[in-house]
Structure 1
Amino acid sequence: MGAVPEAIVAMLACARLGAIHSVVFGGFAALELAKRIEDCRPKVVLASSCGIEGMSKVVPYKPLLDSALEMCVHRPTKVVVLQRPQLPATLKDGEESWRDAVDGIANDRVFHGYETVGANDPLYILYTSGTTGMPKGVVRPSGGHAVVLHYTMNKMYACGPGQVYWAASDLGWILGHSYMCYGPLLNGSTSVLYEGKPVGTPDPSAYYRVMAEHNVTTFFTAPTALMILRREDPNGEYCKKYDLSHVKAMFVAGERCPPEIHRWWVRRVTGVDDTGKALHPIQTPVTNVVSDNWWQTETGSPLAGLAIGLSDDGAQLPPVKYGSAGMPVQGVDLRILRIRDEFDEDRGVDSAPEEVARGVVGYVAVKLPLPPGVMTTLWGDEERFFDAYFRRFPGYYDTGDTGIIDTDGYVHILSRADDIINVAAHRISTSVIEEVVVENSEIAECCVVARGHPIKGSVPVVVAVWKHQKRSRSVEQVKDEVVEAVRNRVGAFTSLYRENVVFVERLPKTRSGKVLRKMIRSMISALLSSKAAGLGDIPTPATIEDDAVKGEIWAALSDWITRGKRD
């Protein structure tokens, strides 16, 4: 279900009954939905007949659900469908429309008491990408989550009771759970639901219009949305039509916000030209602050950011630093741990993790104990929970990110340390895409890595090896098949383009058979950089099986990028 009131009604109803809910983003293909249904085994599935993404784009959800259920061994006892007039769905035997289900409830049974649950009892399961291809079901505790959301709504996001909070996201992501549904309502704030894109609904004024019409105090979106707005309205002409002086704070998260995008947004909404500056002082009274912050599905609330709500005196708050995610949040003991070997793919146990000096890149970790609201386990898999987050660095929570804490104490998140690609704030497991690609009859094996994208932050690159010397289909046909399969099986939001499918003779591997993805990523980054780089600039991993393959991959990637620039 998308950003519609019924979705929040369903979430709150589950919480009141003591039932666990799991909301799934509508952009996932049927296979990914099926994986989640099989893992959490729901008794009831609630769905919309469709989603709306613009003035004319309607996405059919019910066929996706039908296909997913056909793949599942587990079957829910009931399916309830919210019939939307833009695209009503055909219901099967045993399925019921939302309206009929509600109308069938007798008036004396509409209101129920609430179920008392323990502070650590699960509120919901929210799936995030896993490096094995199987999503990880993050389990959120009820009590700690409520405490930290109430605190951050006031102290971090500067939104008080009776004020208006708008998170331009989807309820299927952690931002939707924390700050579209539970956070504002626990705080006594109004929450804005918006179903649409930043442009095309109907024009680039949509965000400004909603903020103005609903007197929004705090706004939250992803940097990708700002990139799209800059592309469509570079001079901010649409922004000039609206009075946004009532907006106290604007936050971005979901991916690293490039400094230039951050500065552009500041210029357009505040009129202050910060071009070339590293810091942006917060004015008094605090108004139109634009700040990045950083958190994860697993944490449920920020680990780093600027607590704008601590004071109305801008001089009492640290300035915004472009390129930074702010400072560690109260209660978060954030540390940067030494990288032993940048190109070592074997994630062994570091029995004596060392902290690095300020300004040195390392693994971002949180020293135990963790603050309230962080996940308590992975659904049905305690062993994976420990292995994924606590095994590598004893005594720490491993965030899976790399970054630095600079000399001023600001946190800079640089990249994922594992094989997750962040496409327009959507985290996608490379393993999920790889599973689909290798099903092509012409492909023996592949690996998927990220390359930079001016709008979406990152997009996937498929590096594949042919299965046969003699092929029955052309290179271009196979590329088209791969792209279509990934779009149908994983989802169009993966943003795999045919020009980002490249073929090589063999993949670089460690002696234990693991593909050296970091080396491939480094090569692509170096070849796309404006600075001249050669093969000698790429370190040779100590664990590489055959040194010669390094040169082969460099040559193949160089030819691929050269052809792309020429074409």
Structure 2
Amino acid sequence: MSYPYQIKSLKEYQEAYKESVENPEAFWGNVAESFTWKKKWDKVLEWNFKEPSIKWFQGGKLNITENCIDRHLETNADTPAIIWEPNNPEDHYRVLTYRELHHKVMQFANVLKNNGVKKGHRVCIYMGMVPELAIAALACARIGAVHSVIFGGFSAQSIADRINDAQATVVVTSDGSFRGNKVVPLKETIDDALMSCPSVKRVIVSTHTRTPVSMIKGRDCWWEDEIKIVETDGNPYCPAEEMDAEDLLFILYTSGSTGKPKGVVHTVAGYLIWTTYTFVNVFQYQPGQVHFCTADIGWITGHSYLLYGPLAAGATTLMFEGVPTYPNASRLWDIVDNYKVNILYTAPTAIRSLMGFGLEPLVGKKLTSLKVLGTVGEPINEEAWNWYNEHIGKNRCPIVDTWWQTETGGVLISNIAGVTPSKPSYATWPLPGVVPALVDETGKELEGNDVSGNLVIKQPWPGILRTTYGDHERMRQTYFSTYDNQYFTGDGCYRDENAMYRITGRVDDVLNVSGHRIGTAEVENAINMHAGVIESAVVGYPHAIKGQGIYAYVMYNGRSNNEPELTRQDILATVTRLIGPIAKPDKIQFVSGLPKTRSGKIMRRILRKIAEGEINNIGDTSTLLDPLIVEEIKHNRL
């Protein structure tokens, strides 16, 4: 498969960028010609950021699975589509060719149909990193159902919130999943969640860990049994549903600055074209290469650069069930050598964690197949960048430092591997179609270079979110109301003398922990549910491994006989039960009060400074109701 839109030189990048900004309709219309359509579009782009209303390829008809699978069958049917590496290296790996993937997706699409799923229905998928997760998502897309994948580490309460928001009618899950030396009881968690989810009519359960589960008559069925029914019918063929370019493809829930997760909506055509275009260009993917994205499909990175982007490009994508340190810290390097991985795309958190084991795990590892390295989820610090470059890339593999978000669908700012320059800790330049700007607090654009401000994007790209599910006004408020006629990313940014962009972190009440966004309000709400807690405030602070850690200041009523450490453990258990272990605070400081203005607003700016250790740089506290509380908090800082 060739990619006529692949950028091969700095000059080509400059030309593509110029055309994409000056004439986006011609540029993206030309790129879209490389994809399979049932009917061509009438209009490439219509948009305004006021409502906001964004429509790409209006009138176009297509199905994303025909682009991800069917169109590769003529010439690449026997090419591996998905290589699956299990959690335990002693267990058998699996390879699904494009032909096998096609067969399995159609089979499961028919299973969904047999269980009442129709075009437009929402299907919740809660599974570990197994091929069945990819098959289930693609099967939904095949029949026009909207999938909502929920990360396998979320709690029953978090799952229930998401299922109820989407009004999902079917849940696809497994008996359990393996993660390092743990077995995660997925079906049991789903059972707990569904006690408050009246919309769910069917639960399809895949066998994986052989964990005993309770199967509810009339609601629950086994994946394997349902497949047998389809096979008995003798015709697993399932035609690809004709979808409008702007039909919903999936909902993915992400934390915001309020407690309620918001369902980011991506649509069929724009998302397909953006993920494929960015995958092929950023990583300079060549046919036959093995691409290893370590992200879980429960996050947007897994959707875009493990599943849809690589498959639409006809690539071989490697899916790993386990964690980088199990059974030892050599695991990723063994996978790279065993499968001759060419592209490795992972998070700075993973790199920093592996750095901590020293060079011993790298002894005897060749890593000669690697051509491109990538990082995602947060800015990579220079020390980790240099270690990755020297010890993994052997100073011969370009590193792409990609900046993007759940809402953007795919990479917005990044160097292009070996084509445009890189700079440690910088995302560098925008990709074609992306028009970034820096603005001050008032929204005034900061011209020129060597400036810092809030990062906004001035015009739409094909992968931009279209709405927040069931609540369009929330989308407008969150992304388009802060600055007039611009998409606000929520990130601070610096532009250097060469117009390269460096993301400096969130400027709203959202934390970036191990590359995953967690809203402070969500964590505070969970802490406040604990019986003894009066009030709490959560901020981020620099963390050596995670990038950002969670620091919680908690007012406790003191009526408990527990030791502070036991109370901390109780609070951590509450957060784990309500959100999941990913949101557990790293530090909990008990306080007698919180710094508040006379109007009752918590001054998180002060708490952030204390958490960061900048106790001599607190700023003005004269507007506080009780300035002395700041001294007490400083004195007892953890």
User: Which bracket does the TM-score occupy, shorter chain normalised?
Assistant: 0.7 to 0.9
| Contact 1:254–1:425 (CA under 8 A) maintained in structure 2 | yes
Q: How does 1:550-565 map to 2 (within 5 A)?
A: 551-561=628-638
2:200 partner amino acid: P
Structure 1 Cα separation of the partners of residues 597 and 415 of structure 2? 42
| Contact 2:370–2:393 (CA under 8 A) maintained in structure 1 | no
1:360 partner amino acid: V
TM-superposition CA deviations, 1:284-331 (whole Å, max 9, x none): xxx5222311100000111111112xxxxx5xx343211112211111
2:199 aligned to 75, 91, 114, which one? Answer: 75
Does structure 1 residue 449 correspond to structure 2 residue 539? yes
Does structure 1 residue 379 correspond to structure 2 residue 469? yes
Q: How does 1:266-345 map to 2 (within 5 A)?
A: 266-272=389-395, 287-308=396-417, 314=418, 317-339=419-441
Structure 2 Cα separation of the partners of residues 505 and 99 of structure 1? 56
1:295 partner amino acid: W
Structure 1 Cα separation of the partners of residues 553 and 446 of structure 2? 35
1:355 aligned to 446, 450, 467, which one? Answer: 446
CA RMSD after TM alignment = 1.9
Could you state the TM-score of these two structures normalised by the residue count of structure 1? 0.86
Structure 1 Cα separation of the partners of residues 453 and 183 of structure 2? 44
Where does residue 418 of structure 1 map in the other structure? 508
Give how far 1:473 is off.
4.2
1:514 partner amino acid: K
TM-superposition CA deviations, 1:15-45 (whole Å, max 9, x none): 1101100000010111111100000011110
Give how far 1:88 is off.
4.2
Give how far 1:145 is off.
1.0
Structure 1 Cα separation of the partners of residues 583 and 210 of structure 2? 26
Where does residue 244 of structure 1 map in the other structure? 367
Q: How does 1:109-258 map to 2 (within 5 A)?
A: 109-200=235-326, 202-232=327-357, 234-235=358-359, 237-258=360-381
| Contact 2:422–2:428 (CA under 8 A) maintained in structure 1 | yes
TM-superposition CA deviations, 1:154-178 (whole Å, max 9, x none): 2111113332211001110001100
The residue matched to 1:501 in structure 2 has which SS? Answer: strand
The residue matched to 1:428 in structure 2 has which SS? Answer: strand
Structure 2 Cα separation of the partners of residues 354 and 516 of structure 1? 27
Where does residue 427 of structure 1 map in the other structure? 517
Structure 2 Cα separation of the partners of residues 153 and 475 of structure 1? 49
The residue matched to 1:298 in structure 2 has which SS? Answer: helix
Where does residue 158 of structure 2 map in the other structure? 32
Where does residue 46 of structure 2 map in the other structure? none
Structure 2 Cα separation of the partners of residues 460 and 480 of structure 1? 15
Does structure 1 residue 481 correspond to structure 2 residue 605? no
Structure 2 Cα separation of the partners of residues 159 and 109 of structure 1? 36
1:516 aligned to 591, 596, 603, which one? Answer: 603
Structure 2 Cα separation of the partners of residues 37 and 109 of structure 1? 32
| Contact 1:464–1:502 (CA under 8 A) maintained in structure 2 | yes
2:387 aligned to 238, 260, 264, which one? Answer: 264
| Contact 1:163–1:189 (CA under 8 A) maintained in structure 2 | yes
Could you state the TM-score of these two structures normalised by the residue count of structure 2? 0.77
Listed as ranges, the gaps of 5+ residues in structure 1 are: 273-286, 309-313, 340-349, 528-532, 562-567
Give how far 1:545 is off.
4.6
Residue correspondences, number: 510
Give how far 1:96 is off.
0.4
Structure 2 Cα separation of the partners of residues 48 and 364 of structure 1? 40
1:490 partner amino acid: I
CA change 1:504–1:43 in 2 (3 A) is same
Structure 2 Cα separation of the partners of residues 131 and 185 of structure 1? 33
| Contact 1:19–1:123 (CA under 8 A) maintained in structure 2 | yes
2:431 partner amino acid: V
1:451 partner amino acid: Y
Where does residue 280 of structure 1 map in the other structure? none
Structure 1 Cα separation of the partners of residues 261 and 205 of structure 2? 25
2:567 partner amino acid: V
Give how far 1:474 is off.
4.2
TM-superposition CA deviations, 1:398-451 (whole Å, max 9, x none): 101111111112111111111112221222121122112112332211111112
Structure 1 Cα separation of the partners of residues 206 and 334 of structure 2? 28
| Contact 2:534–2:555 (CA under 8 A) maintained in structure 1 | yes
Give how far 1:472 is off.
4.9
Structure 2 Cα separation of the partners of residues 439 and 242 of structure 1? 48
Structure 2 Cα separation of the partners of residues 407 and 251 of structure 1? 24
Where does residue 311 of structure 1 map in the other structure? none
Give how far 1:246 is off.
2.5
1:403 aligned to 486, 493, 496, which one? Answer: 493
| Contact 2:290–2:343 (CA under 8 A) maintained in structure 1 | yes
Give how far 1:231 is off.
1.1
